[in-house]
Amino acid sequence: MTDLTRRAALKGAVALGAAASLPLPARASGSLSAAIYPGTWDEAYRAIVAPQVKAKHGIDVAFDTLWAVDQVTKVRAARGVPPFDCFVLDPGPAAAARQAGLFDPIDASKLTNAGKLPAGMIAADAVTVNVQIVGICYNPKKIPNPPKTWAQLFESPYVERLGLTGFQTTFGTVSLVEMAKAFGGSATDIEPIFKKLKEVLPKVAAVSTPAALPGLFQQGQIDLMYTNTNNAATLKAKGVDIAFLAPESGAITFSTTLHIVKGSENRDAAHKYIDTVIGADAQSKLQLSPYNMVPVNKDVKLTDNLDIKSLDEVAKMVTHDWNVINPQRAAWIERFNKEITK
Amino acid sequence: MSGTAHAGTTGIEWRLAAPLGFTYLAFFAAPLLILLVMSFSVDDNLGGFSTASWTKFWGDPFYRGVVWDTLRLGLLAVAVTTLFAYPIALVFVASGPRLQRLLLFIILLPLLTSVVIRTFAWIVILSREGVLNQALLALGLASAPLNLLQTELGLVIALTQIEMPLMLLPLITVMGQIDPSLSDASRALGSSRWRTFRKVILPLSLPGWIAGATLVFASATTAFISQTVIGGARLVYLPTLIWQQAMVVYNWPFAAVASVTLLVAVLAGVTAFATLGRFARTA
Amino acid sequence: MARQLNTPSDRLYGVVMGTLALAGLAILVVPVLIVLVSSLTSSTVLRFPPPGLSLRWYEALLDPGRSRHVHVALWNSLWVAACATAIGAVLATLAALALNRASRASARLLEAGFLSPLVLPGLAFGLATLMYFSILGFRPSLNLLIAGHIVVIAPFIFRTTLASLTQLDPALHESSASLGAGRLYTFRRITLPIIAPGIAAGAFLAFVSSMDNVPVSLFLSTARTNMLPIRMWGMMETTLDVRVAAMSGALIVVVLILMIVMDRLTNLTRRMSM
């Protein structure tokens, strides 16, 4: 309450200025703003989810295309004036957002499809809508005998074709943790991978931002990278020479979750949106090419464009505890900067 | 601007400066103040005063190095754009109206291609199997593909294209206003072309160059997307650092320190250009 | 340039300047050509060299069904850029006039202040602005985006206008005033025609940099006020969508046609370039 009155007082103070005449767009009850990842997710949700939400519930969904870290930063900066109603997040940013108290609770009883999801996929403030699988991607034309383990990525002739990316993304972080394990480290001791990185750095084809990887891959600067099946399949569907492979130690998996932003004025609409996303109708379409999103609804039969046969496979894959990783991440990023920089 | 005043002796006309001044106060100075306060805060809730972020930043040689690298990148961009911009401007002023129209269109071209797609074009040009490497190999100028992408050299080349219009537009504006009879007189008095360039064209075009250099320096040092995509992760500049600290690590006070540092450092550079110009003009 | 090159040193001057000019023009043109050629690809993904040529991505870009969200973002961006440039041009020109002949240290300081948004890292400014507006309780809207963009682009116009003002002979003012002309009249008949190219050049820079602004738009735009570069960045990154290249191609063609038409009509381009 004090927050509100302080804000009201501040607002009054500037009401004399021209800024006060700026309109505050009121949101109609039948509308919702949802954050969505750029690229495939944006296309898929715009094409499949939005029309279904409109048809079933009469709600207009507008999408704000933002990466997970951008979403969290934007909501934090907005300080209680939510810029959108729903997050879509990976575990790393989700843990950070939870710690910062940016979620409103989700009422599972309002989700008609709640029972269709495997146990554990609905939490008090999160609903899993998609499973991501991370492994090694390579160009089968240039690399006929791809590496079989994380460690082999750092050997010739592979390392000369490898595109590295750091700790700023979820898939980059978990891949580097797995590589650390391959050289004798663990999620709390990633010393071995830093040692290895320093050693191979003069040889690697590129150390890049994740955003640049698809372009670099396609133009032949790199022929090997680590990314999720979803990205790989999308590029493959567009005619890029790319193949996915799970390392011998197992592919990495993590879930993508939807959340309601704290202070959202469209909580009902947000529940209906989330319910539609996990419904069999949407999930069965989202798994098709070119979207290739691994479904979570038990009623959905997996199609063969995906790199897994059944959801049981996912249960055997490597997972990570982000409550362990997040506190160390800032230090890892700083160290990556310092040691990787020329 | 009273009728009897002489150039350089009047003060600021505050009434004319006020509208932009107040706009800046409302939409620029106020957010900036938040940034400054943030840099002295304990956390991103602006709770508690602390100089920890400042001491961490300036106490660490790595971060001091990043500041220097960023300024160096700006200076390199100014140097290389100057090297190409003057010859292009000379050709431009000497051309007829038809050719001038074509040249102007070419100069504006980089501005018409979004930063998003330009980065793709530079990957195509600079990558191992890229256009430039294929040309070098075909011409026998290199025996193996050069690594240009993700090097400072590659980044400066790419920035040159992106920033050149910012240098050229003010430069050709000012050079077009130079009375051609001055150059002719210099030539008629037996000066070589080099000397005419140095003694007539260079000093008279200085205001345009300063305007251009300011824009190029400021733009190159803050060109976040080009720096990260073309420069790659092995070249760390202040904007990259700000992005990481603000968006990934959520260390906003530290990001604020980096932002304020970048602002002050680049502002100092820009003021140096302006002072240089005043000095050169009065000397 | 029609003058004969008579000495070896003069010949060298011509060769050096000519070569550098050609190399410089090549640096300007080649990347754009690559974008244009890539936009004509027949494949489903951005690639160079393209396996075949077609106009399919221009069709896809114009298709109101498939590219509606791109069109909405384009209109938002155009509107914000136009408003910000128009308001910014007036404010910045006034400010440049205010500082034109002042030489005191305070004037230098104010000049640096007016230029400072240029050097503020956009990302930090975007973040700070969002916090500022949120503390005031404003929801992000197109108007706030315009305000943010004015700050970012006004320095361009301020800088180029100031540069062209230095070319203004103060004697012109004095004679105009001594002939009894009012200040407004002097401004309209003497100052404005001389500084107009500077304002135009600055306004052009301002407009395109607003259209291309990522960091401020990233924080101040919302689901309902999508901006073009943010939309294109997303399309480009993961899926290498060719429509991003087609958008640049379309923009180049539009500007080319505009320049030719304007040139035929008013000879305006020549004035702008001088």
* Residue A147 sits in the same domain as residue A160: yes
Average pLDDT of the segment spanning C99-118: 80
| Chain A adjacent subunits, 3+ CB pairs under 8 A | B, C
For residue B78, the distance in angstroms to the closest alpha carbon of chain A comes to: 22
Indicate yes or no: CB of C32 within 8 angstroms of CB of B35: no
Q: Using an 8 Å CB-CB cutoff, list chain C residues near B16.
A: 94-95, 97-98
Q: How confident is residue B126, by pLDDT bands cut at 50, 70 and 90?
A: confident
Q: How confident is residue B128, by pLDDT bands cut at 50, 70 and 90?
A: confident
Task: State the best of A21, A36, A238, A289 to mutate against chain C, taking most chain C CBs within 10 Å.
Answer: A238
Q: Using an 8 Å CB-CB cutoff, list chain B residues near A166.
A: 233
pLDDT number for residue C62? 86
* Residue A163 sits in the same domain as residue A234: yes
Indicate yes or no: CB of C121 within 8 angstroms of CB of B6: no
Per the document, the length of chain B is 283
The model's pLDDT over C57-74, given as tens digits with 9 standing for 90+, comes to: 888 888 887 788 888 889
> Per the domain annotation, does A187 fall within a domain?
yes
Judge contact between C70 and C79, C-beta under 8 A.
no
> Per the domain annotation, does B27 fall within a domain?
no
* Residue A303 sits in the same domain as residue A324: no
- How many folded domains does chain B comprise? 1
Residue B14 in this model has a pLDDT that exceeds 80: yes
Q: How confident is residue B281, by pLDDT bands cut at 50, 70 and 90?
A: low
Residue C20 in this model has a pLDDT that exceeds 70: yes
CATH architecture of C67-241: Orthogonal Bundle (1.10)
Task: State the best of A11, A65, A73 to mutate against chain B, taking most chain B CBs within 10 Å.
Answer: A73
CATH value at residue A221? 3.40.190.10
> In which domain, by residue range, is B197 found?
51-282
> Per the domain annotation, does B126 fall within a domain?
yes
Q: Using an 8 Å CB-CB cutoff, list chain B residues near A205.
A: 128
Percentage above 70 pLDDT, chain A? 91
The helix or strand, by DSSP H or E, that contains position C158, with its residue range, turns out to be: helix C142-165
pLDDT number for residue C272? 47
For residue A207, the distance in angstroms to the closest alpha carbon of chain B comes to: 5
> Per the domain annotation, does A3 fall within a domain?
no
Distances (CA, A) of B196 to B81, B186, B279: 21, 6, 21
- Between residues C241 and B278, the one the model is more confident about: C241
Q: Is A47 on the interface with C (CB under 8 A)?
A: no
Average pLDDT of the segment spanning C197-224: 84
Task: State the best of B120, B132, B191 to mutate against chain C, taking most chain C CBs within 10 Å.
Answer: B120
Question: What is d(CA A108, CA A119) in angstroms, rounded to the nearest whole number?
Answer: 13
Domain boundaries, chain C: 34-64+243-274, 67-241
Q: Which residue of B has its CA nearest to C105?
A: B11
pLDDT number for residue A162? 93
Residue A140 in this model has a pLDDT that exceeds 70: yes
Q: Using an 8 Å CB-CB cutoff, list chain C residues near B85.
A: 24
Q: Using an 8 Å CB-CB cutoff, list chain B residues near A17.
A: 26
> In which domain, by residue range, is A272 found?
30-131+254-315
> Per the domain annotation, does B207 fall within a domain?
yes
- How many folded domains does chain A comprise? 2
pLDDT number for residue C89? 94
Q: Using an 8 Å CB-CB cutoff, list chain A residues near C233.
A: 38
Alpha-carbon torsion angle B209, B214, B217, B220, nearest 10: -100
* Residue A300 sits in the same domain as residue A203: no
Indicate yes or no: CB of A207 within 8 angstroms of CB of B234: yes
Q: Which residue of C has its CA nearest to B180?
A: C1
Average pLDDT of the segment spanning C115-122: 79
Q: Is C50 on the interface with B (CB under 8 A)?
A: no
Long-range contacts of B175-182 (CB under 8 A, 24+ apart): B175/B89, B175/B90, B175/B92, B175/B93, B175/B201, B175/B204, B175/B205, B175/B208, B176/B92, B176/B93, B176/C273, B176/C274, B177/C164, B177/C167, B177/C274, B178/B93, B178/B204, B178/B205
Distances (CA, A) of A113 to A87, A272, A294: 19, 10, 17
Q: Residue A337 is nearest to which of B236, B247, B250, comparing CB atoms?
A: B236
Q: Of the ranges A19-28, B123-132, B236-245, C235-244, which one carries the lowest mean pLDDT score?
A: A19-28
How is residue B17 written in tokens? Answer: 């400066």
Residue A280 in this model has a pLDDT that exceeds 90: yes
pLDDT number for residue B252? 86
pLDDT number for residue A24? 40
pLDDT number for residue C230? 82
Judge contact between C232 and A38, C-beta under 8 A.
no
- Looking up tokens 């000093």 gives B203
Q: Is A331 on the interface with B (CB under 8 A)?
A: no
Question: Strand pairing partners for A128?
Answer: A257
pLDDT number for residue C265? 60
* Residue A170 sits in the same domain as residue A201: yes
For residue B245, the distance in angstroms to the closest alpha carbon of chain A comes to: 8
Write the DSSP string, A216-280. Answer: HHHTTS-SEEEEEHHHHHHHHHTT---EEE--TT--EEEEEEEEEETT-S-HHHHHHHHHHHHSH
Q: Residue A74 is nearest to which of C130, C147, C226, comparing CB atoms?
A: C130
Cα B236 from chain centroid? 18
pLDDT, averaged across chain B: 84
Q: Using an 8 Å CB-CB cutoff, list chain A residues near C142.
A: none
pLDDT number for residue B3? 37
Indicate yes or no: CB of B123 within 8 angstroms of CB of A76: no
| Strand A252-261 versus strand A86-89 pairing type | antiparallel
Question: What is d(CA B271, CA B266) in angstroms, rounded to the nearest whole number?
Answer: 9
Closest CA to C12 of B186, B199, B195: B195
* Residue A310 sits in the same domain as residue A329: no
pLDDT number for residue A85? 94
For residue C207, the distance in angstroms to the closest alpha carbon of chain B comes to: 10
* Residue A59 sits in the same domain as residue A195: no
Indicate yes or no: CB of C127 within 8 angstroms of CB of A77: yes
Indicate yes or no: CB of B234 within 8 angstroms of CB of A338: no
Indicate yes or no: CB of A340 within 8 angstroms of CB of B149: no
Q: How confident is residue B282, by pLDDT bands cut at 50, 70 and 90?
A: low
Q: What angle do CA B233, B236, B238 make, to 5 degrees?
A: 135
pLDDT number for residue A11? 46
> Per the domain annotation, does A72 fall within a domain?
yes
Q: How confident is residue C263, by pLDDT bands cut at 50, 70 and 90?
A: low
* Residue A144 sits in the same domain as residue A225: yes
Indicate yes or no: CB of A40 within 8 angstroms of CB of C230: no
Question: What is d(CA B56, CA B40) in angstroms, rounded to the nearest whole number?
Answer: 12
Average pLDDT of the segment spanning A66-81: 86
Q: How confident is residue A111, by pLDDT bands cut at 50, 70 and 90?
A: very high
pLDDT number for residue B57? 93
The model's pLDDT over B25-60, given as tens digits with 9 standing for 90+, comes to: 999 999 989 889 989 988 877 778 889 999 999 999
Percentage above 90 pLDDT, chain C? 17
> Per the domain annotation, does B38 fall within a domain?
no
Q: What angle do CA A43, A137, A313 make, to 5 degrees?
A: 80
Given 3-state DSSP classes, what are the helix, strand and coil percentages for chain A, each rounded to the nearest 5?
45, 15, 40
* Residue A165 sits in the same domain as residue A105: no
How is residue B228 written in tokens? Answer: 């990260």
For residue C38, the distance in angstroms to the closest alpha carbon of chain A comes to: 12
CATH value at residue B90? 1.10.3720.10
Q: Residue B229 is nearest to which of A70, A76, A211, comparing CB atoms?
A: A211
Alpha-carbon torsion angle A259, A264, A267, A272, nearest 10: -50
pLDDT number for residue C270? 47
Indicate yes or no: CB of B116 within 8 angstroms of CB of C7: no
Indicate yes or no: CB of B149 within 8 angstroms of CB of A209: no
Average pLDDT of the segment spanning B109-138: 84
Amino acid symbol at A120: G
Question: What is d(CA A87, CA A89) in angstroms, rounded to the nearest whole number?
Answer: 6
Under 8 Å CB pairs connecting chains B and C tally to: 340
Average pLDDT of the segment spanning A98-112: 93
> Per the domain annotation, does A237 fall within a domain?
yes
Closest CA to A175 of A278, A252, A272: A252
| Chain C adjacent subunits, 3+ CB pairs under 8 A | A, B
Contact map slice: A 244-273 vs C, CB within 8 A: none
Average pLDDT of the segment spanning C114-133: 82
pLDDT number for residue C271? 45
Prior bond of A290 cis (ω within 30°): yes
Distances (CA, A) of B282 to B8, B170, B206, B214, C108: 11, 21, 12, 20, 16
- Between residues B100 and C170, the one the model is more confident about: B100
Indicate yes or no: CB of A24 within 8 angstroms of CB of C138: yes
Residue C232 in this model has a pLDDT that exceeds 90: no
- Between residues A15 and C52, the one the model is more confident about: C52
What's this model's pTM, rounded to 2 decimal places? 0.82
How is residue A148 written in tokens? Answer: 């079989």
Q: Which residue of C has its CA nearest to B242?
A: C124
